[in-house]
Amino acid sequence: MKKYLIQFKPFLIFIGTFFLAYILLTLIYKFYLNSYAANDVDGITAIVGRNVEQVMQMFSCDIKIQKSIFYPNLEVWYNKKFTIRIVEGCNAISVIILFISFVIAFSGKFKSTLLFILAGTIFIYILNVFRIAILTVLLYRFPEKEHILHGVLFPLIIYGLVFILWIIWVNKFSKYAK
């Protein structure tokens, strides 16, 4: 048994570090969410909504994003038509937590790890804002394609780009880089 522990030590350290970081960050996020009333939109989701509105206004879109009176979400009105809802799960924090946990598990030098986490988090956040803006326009034009756009294409894009960031991290900056 000791032989296997020694043989798989790097893998076990990676798995342990990843899950520890993931659980810790998720708990912190859950405590943050619990600080809001059950029928209230959390602050991060509200900021994402404002940023989506700002991006779409830069492109002269007729956009209005407002808090729902009945549910803890934001209603997106595009060309005066209700198009989508922005809920807590749309703010990309769960994707960012996954990204950070992986980078920490494959950490490199402290400074490069911290800078990559910061840059990657900003990239994912901005990508997510544009994802919601583009999704709004596409679902306005093609509401019948909601499953393929929201359920397949856009998750594939965001998780695919996070995967590419991980590959860049492991190959260029982590302690396992050449």
Instruction: Answer whether residue 166 is part of any domain.
Output: yes
> How many other C-beta atoms can be found within 10 angstroms of the C-beta atom of residue 5?
9
Cα 148 from Cα 153, distance rounded (Å) = 6
Instruction: Answer whether residue 66 is part of any domain.
Output: no
Burial 84-108, CB ≥16 within 10 A → b, else e:
bebebebbbbebbbbbbbbbbbbbb
Instruction: Answer whether residue 159 is part of any domain.
Output: yes
Residue whose token pair is 């520890």: 20
Instruction: Answer whether residue 141 is part of any domain.
Output: yes
Instruction: Answer whether residue 72 is part of any domain.
Output: no
Residue pLDDT tens, the chain, 178 long: 777 777 888 888 889 999 999 999 999 999 999 999 888 999 999 999 999 999 999 999 999 999 999 899 999 999 999 999 999 999 999 999 999 999 999 888 899 999 999 999 999 999 999 999 999 999 999 999 999 999 999 999 999 999 999 999 988 887 776 6
* DSSP line for 131-166: HHHHHHHHHHH-GGGHIIIIIIIHHHHHHHHHHHHH
Instruction: Answer whether residue 13 is part of any domain.
Output: yes
Sheet holding 74-78, edge to edge: 63-67, 74-78, 81-86
Residue whose token pair is 């994707």: 95
Instruction: Answer whether residue 81 is part of any domain.
Output: no
Instruction: Answer whether residue 77 is part of any domain.
Output: no
With vertex at residue 162, the alpha carbon angle to CA 77 and CA 60, rounded to the nearest 5 degrees, is 30
> For residue 108, what pLDDT is reported?
81
With vertex at residue 121, the alpha carbon angle to CA 165 and CA 113, rounded to the nearest 5 degrees, is 70
State phi, psi for 42 to the nearest 5 degrees. -70, 160
- Domain range holding 33? 2-41+89-173
Predicted TM-score (pTM) of the model is: 0.91
Structural domains in the chain (count):
1
